[in-house]
Structure 1
Amino acid sequence: MIETTPRERIEVLVDAPLAPRLAELAETAGITGHTLLRTESGRGRHGEWSEDLLSGATAKYVFLTIASPERADAFLKALVPLLESHGLVVLRSTVDVIRPDRF
C-alpha cells in the first residue's frame, strides 16, 4: 500500500480580477502553488450567471490549492475580509497526498 499524508484542499470560486490577489494571499500564508480552473456558468443565491465571452467581465475561476493545515488556516484567515465584499465561495476538505513534501 502507498503511504499517504493528510493535507488540506482549498477551493475558492472567485471573480477573475481578484484571482491575483488570492495568489498573493496564498503566498503570504506560505502556500507555493495553486491552479486556476476557468468556469463557464453556474447558479447561486443571486440566480444564474455565465461568462460574458465578449468582455470577460463576469469571468470566474476556481482557485485550487493544497497545503498543510497550518498554511491552510493562515490562508483562510486572510480571506475572511473578502468573503462578503466579493461573494467568495470557499470549500475546505482533507485529502490524502502521496508526495507530502510538495505541499
Structure 2
Amino acid sequence: MTKRKKLEILVDAPLLKRVRDLVNSAGVFGYTLYPTFGGEGEGGRWLDDQVTGGAGSKILFVTISDKEDNERLLDVLTPLLEEYGLMITVSDVDVLFAPTEGEA
C-alpha cells in the first residue's frame, strides 16, 4: 500500500472546466467525477438543477496524488475558494496497486 492524499472538490457544474484546467496546470491529470443530487450546508439547501441546463448542479471532483502534488493543487485552487464558495476536503488514504512485473 502507498500513502496518498485524496482531494475532493464540490464544484458548481459551470466551473468544472476551470477546475480541471487548474488541476492539470498543477501537473495532476487523473481524476474521477461523481454526480450529486443535492445537499445542505451553511448556504442552505441545494438540489441538482437539470431544468435550467445544470447551472445549479454540483459535481464532486476527486483526485488522488502524492503530498507534493496535493500541495500544488491546493495552491492553484485556493483563489477559487472564496471567489466561488468551493468546498475542498483532503484525506489521507492508502492506495493498493496491482503488482507490476518483477514485484509479484
Match of 1:93 in 2: 91
**Unpaired runs of 5+ in structure 2?**
99-104
TM alignment of 1:1-103, pairs within 5 A: 4-55=1-52, 56-99=54-97
| Identical-residue share of aligned pairs (%) | 42
Tell me which stretches of 4 or more aligned residues in structure 1 moved more than 3 Å.
none
Aligned length: 97
Tell me the CA shift for residue 27 of structure 1.
Answer: 1.1
Q: Which has the larger radius of gyration?
A: 2
Tell me the CA shift for residue 53 of structure 1.
Answer: 2.0
Residue-by-residue CA offset, 1:70-95 (whole Å, 9 max, x unaligned): 00100111111110111100000110
CA RMSD, aligned part only? 1.2
Question: TM-score when scaled to structure 1?
Answer: 0.89
Residue-by-residue CA offset, 1:32-62 (whole Å, 9 max, x unaligned): 2111111111001121110122111101000
**Unpaired runs of 5+ in structure 1?**
none
